[in-house]
Amino acid sequence: MSTATYTRYELLRTIRNRRVIIFALAFPVILFLAIAAPNRNVTDFSGTGISTSLYFMVGLAAFATMNAMLASGGRIAADRAAGWNRQLRVSPLSPSAYIGTKVLTGYLLAGLSIVVLYACGVALGVSLPAARWLAMTGLLLVGLIPFAALGIALGHLLSSDSIGPAVGGLVGVLALLGGSWFPISGHGFLHDLAQALPSYWLVQASHVGLGESGWGVHGWLVMALWTIALIGLARRAYRQDTGRGT
C-alpha cells in the first residue's frame, strides 16, 4: 500500500480537467502574450529600466502560480460536493496524504505555468543569468506555501459553486495589491497595506528575476506569519468540515 498510485491518478485528473487547464495554465500565458508580444521592443517599461517582456513575465509568474495553488481549493470543494471526501475517510488514506496530494498537484500546476511563461519570455527576448532564473524560481516556490494553505482552507470552507468566483476575485485583488500588474509606489497607505500581504512578497520573489534582492527580514517575517495563520485556518476548516470538533 502506497499513495504513489493514488497521487498519479489525482495528477491525471487535474491535467484532464479542462477548467483547471484553462484558468490556471492557459489564461496567464495568453495574458502575458497579449501584453508582452506587441511591446517586445520596449526596453524601459514605465521608467523602470526593464523590458516589458521581463517585467510581465515575472509578474505573471507570481499571478499564475498563486492561481495554480488556489485552484486546489476548487478541487477540494468539488470532492466535497460529490461526497468523495467522506468516501476517502472510510479508506486507509490519511488526511495528511489527501491534503499533501492536493498541494503536490498545486505545485505541479504552478511548475508547469512557470515553465510555459519562462519559455514564452525567452521567445520574446528575455535573457537572464542561470543563477537568477534559479533564485527567482526557488523563492517563488517557497512563497507559494501560504497560498497552498489558503487553498486548502477555502476548499473546506466554501461550496463548489461559490469557490470559483471567490478565488477568482481574491486572486485578482491580491495580485493587484501585491504589485503583479504594476509597481506599487514606494510610500503611502497602499504601500503599507501591500507589504502586509503575502501576494506582495510573492511578487517580490518574482522580482528577483529583475535583479531585486528578494525578501529580507521583513519579507520572511510576513510570509512566516501568514503561513502559520493560514495553516491554522486550514486545520480549523478541515476539522469543522469533517465534524471532528476543534
* Closest among 34, 55, 33 to 44, alpha carbons compared: 55
* Closest among 158, 139, 156 to 202, alpha carbons compared: 139
Q: Smallest distance, Å, CB 119 to another protein?
A: 26
Q: For residues 2 and 213, which CB has a smaller minimum distance to another protein in the complex?
A: 2
- DSSP string of 177-191? HHTSSSPPPSSSHHH
Query: What is the C-alpha separation between 55 and 227, in angstroms, rounded?
Result: 27
Which of 41, 43, 46, 87 forms a contact with another protein (CB under 8 A)?
Answer: 87
Which of 47, 129, 186, 243 forms a contact with another protein (CB under 8 A)?
Answer: 243
Three cell numbers, residue 158: 466554501
In this structure, the number of other CB atoms found within 10 A of the CB of residue 98 comes to 20
Residues touching another protein: how many (CB under 8 A)? 29
Q: What sign for the dihedral angle of Cα 199, 101, 133, 116?
A: negative
Asked if 96 is part of the footprint of another protein (rule: CB under 8 A), the reply reads: no
Asked if 94 is part of the footprint of another protein (rule: CB under 8 A), the reply reads: yes
- 67-86 binders of another protein (CB under 8 A): 78-79, 82-84, 86
Q: Smallest distance, Å, CB 161 to another protein?
A: 15
Three cell numbers, residue 34: 497579449
- DSSP string of 82-99? TTHHHHHHTSS--HHHHH
Site string for another protein, 130-169 (x = CB under 8 A): ----------------------------------------
Asked if 5 is part of the footprint of another protein (rule: CB under 8 A), the reply reads: yes
Q: For residues 160 and 195, which CB has a smaller minimum distance to another protein in the complex?
A: 160
* Closest among 73, 11, 61, 13 to 180, alpha carbons compared: 61
Asked if 24 is part of the footprint of another protein (rule: CB under 8 A), the reply reads: no
Instruction: Give the residues lining the site for another protein (CB under 8 A).
Output: 1-6, 9-10, 12-14, 16-17, 78-79, 82-84, 86-87, 89-94, 243-245
